């Protein structure tokens, strides 16, 4: 069963790159007392993710802040080094927190994993976005296979 509007976000932790190297951020640190937009992509450096999904959130970062969003975070089932390199290559700066879910544990806890082994990509996360208010999912937008609409930055801005 996947996360739904009104559900508390599962507990967990993500890999993040810090000035000192690989680090970690817990869900409590990410969500507690904050309004967060968490969006997930099937993979760093993949075409739709790199050309549309992530850039849309970077482009609209100020719009999210204007609507009271404290943090915009990008999640992928990739390691922290890949997420850091991808963020740098797309110039996310301080606008987007790049979260690594290396083994897909958090994605599985959301019930939003994707078996992409048919494409040689193994376990991945579905394309989705969740608006989180103080640890509770207030909106959940999961894309249909092959789609890119409901989790786009513009669609999520409209839901705020």
- Residues tagged active-site: 49
Helix-, strand-, coil-residue percentages of the chain, each rounded to 5: 30, 30, 40
CA distances from 149 to 144, 145, 154 (A): 9, 11, 9
Give, in degrees to the nearest 5, the angle at Cα 141 between 136 and 143: 145
Assign 6 to helix, strand or coil.
coil
First to last CA, the chain: 25
């Amino acid at each position: 069963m996947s996360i739904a509007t009104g559900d508390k976000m599962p507990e967990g932790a993500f890999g993040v790159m810090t000035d000192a190297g690989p680090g970690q951020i817990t869900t409590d640190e990410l969500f507690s007392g904050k309004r967060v937009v968490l969006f997930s992509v099937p993979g760093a450096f993949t075409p739709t993710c790199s050309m549309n999904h992530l850039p849309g959130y970077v482009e609209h970062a100020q719009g999210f802040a204007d609507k009271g969003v404290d943090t915009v975070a990008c999640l992928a089932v990739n390691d922290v080094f890949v997420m850091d390199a991808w963020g740098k290559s797309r110039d996310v700066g301080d606008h987007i927190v790049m979260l690594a879910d290396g083994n897909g544990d958090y994605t599985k806890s959301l019930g939003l994993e994707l078996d992409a082994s048919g494409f040689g990509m193994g376990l991945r996360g579905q394309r989705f976005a969740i608006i989180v208010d103080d640890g509770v999912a207030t909106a959940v937008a999961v894309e249909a296979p092959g789609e890119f609409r409901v989790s786009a930055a513009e669609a999520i801005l409209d839901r705020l």
